[in-house]
Amino acid sequence: MNESRTPLIIGNWKMHKTAAEARSFFADLARELGSAGMPADVEAGIAPPATALHAAAEGQTLGVRVYGQNVHWATHGAYTGELSAAMLTEAGAAGALIGHSERRQYFGETDATVNQRLKAALAADLQAVVCIGERLEDRKSNQTLDVIARQLDGALADLEAAAVARLVLAYEPVWAIGTGETATPDQAQEVHSFIRTHLALRFGAETLAAVRILYGGSVTPENVAILLAQPDVDGALVGGASLDAGKFAKLLHFR
Ligand code: PGA
């Protein structure tokens, strides 16, 4: 973490929680936070399923930002199952995840579709959280940094530096997602620092100073502090542990 960047912790609920469950999560979260409330120096977000977006955005006064789990590139059209940026905004979302590894792995998302979705999010003023990360076989064959560079270049194709400056990136090694296996703080720092350098070379160091790079993959209240102590780790994208209000409250109060 670098003190010039406010830490950002986003819970990705994936396909968990109905609207009613989202409401009770926020009631529980308020209770778990107690008199300490939300930490003043941390930004918090939750990416619920689309059907719970509105309930999550309206059902709390904690100031937790709400994110879509994806966003389509078109404003409207014959795209069964997809959501436009305007639909997300209307439901109360302030941003959207883009290119999560589960979208890439199970739903054929590619760097090119990530790029299109990202452009739509930026055009609509949604805070885009672009997810990248290598698979186990990439890491074993020493391809990690090549894969990351390729994903970054594909996702950010044709973007101006000013647009890149508004992004949040999430480095999530696929082998660490939902497996209980976490990248070591050194492994995370190595890739985060590579991402920052790679983008600085392409878009200018000044642009990059503000871009937050989150780590994701089996983050828990137990390991969050050590991960966020790394100089280029600016927050966390948390799956499993974010489903529990008590754990999410602890994650927010990692300091
Ligand atoms: P996990 O998921 O924390 O359950 O590993 C992280 C993610 O997929 O964003």
pLDDT for res 206? 83
In single-letter form, the type of residue at position 49 comes to: P
From ligand 1's centre to the CA of 206, what distance in Å?
Answer: 30
Relative orientation angle of helices 111-123 and 144-155, to the nearest 10 degrees: 40
Band of the pLDDT at 40, cuts 50, 70, 90?
very high
Q: For residue 94, give Cα distances in angstroms to 46, 178, 241.
A: 10, 25, 22
Pocket test for ligand 1, best of 219, 222, 242 (most atoms within 8 A of CB): 219
**Separation CA 67–CA 57 (nearest Å):** 9
**Separation CA 123–CA 11 (nearest Å):** 24
Ligand 1 near 223 CB (within 6 A) = no
From ligand 1's centre to the CA of 90, what distance in Å?
Answer: 26
Active-site choice (43, 102, 109, 172): 172
User: Which atom of ligand 1 sits closest to the CA of residue 180?
Assistant: 5
**Separation CA 32–CA 54 (nearest Å):** 22
**What is the percent of the chain where pLDDT is above 70?**
100
pLDDT digits (tens, 9 = 90+) for 73-124: 999 999 999 999 999 999 999 999 999 999 999 999 999 999 999 999 999 9
Q: Which residues have C-beta within 8 Å of that of residue 190, sequence separation ≥ 6?
A: none
pLDDT for res 3? 83
The one-character DSSP state at 7 is -
Q: For residue 69, give Cα distances in angstroms to 119, 128, 136.
A: 16, 10, 24
249 by Cβ neighbours in 10 Å (0-12 / 13-18 / 19+) ranks as buried
From ligand 1's centre to the CA of 196, what distance in Å?
Answer: 22
Check if the beta carbon of residue 89 is closer than 8 Å to that of residue 68: no
pLDDT for res 59? 87
Q: Buried b / exposed e across 84-99, counting CB within 10 Å, b at 16+?
A: bbebbbebbbebbbbb
Instruction: Record the tokens describing residue 180, joined without a space.
Output: 């209980």
Ligand 1 near 240 CB (within 6 A) = yes
**Separation CA 131–CA 116 (nearest Å):** 14
Query: Which residue's alpha carbon is nearest to atom 7 within ligand 1?
Result: 239
Query: Which residue's alpha carbon is nearest to atom 1 within ligand 1?
Result: 239
Ligand 1 near 182 CB (within 6 A) = no
Q: What is the chain's Cα-based Rg?
A: 17
**Separation CA 97–CA 177 (nearest Å):** 15
**Separation CA 166–CA 170 (nearest Å):** 13
Q: Write out the E strands in 42-109.
A: 43-47, 65-68, 95-98
Ligand 1 near 237 CB (within 6 A) = yes
pLDDT digits (tens, 9 = 90+) for 230-245: 999 999 999 999 999 9
* Of 36 and 86, more confident: 86
From ligand 1's centre to the CA of 112, what distance in Å?
Answer: 23
Identify the bridge partners of residue 45 per DSSP, sorted by sequence position.
10, 65
Check if the beta carbon of residue 31 is closer than 8 Å to that of residue 60: no
Band of the pLDDT at 213, cuts 50, 70, 90?
very high
- 172 a catalytic residue: yes
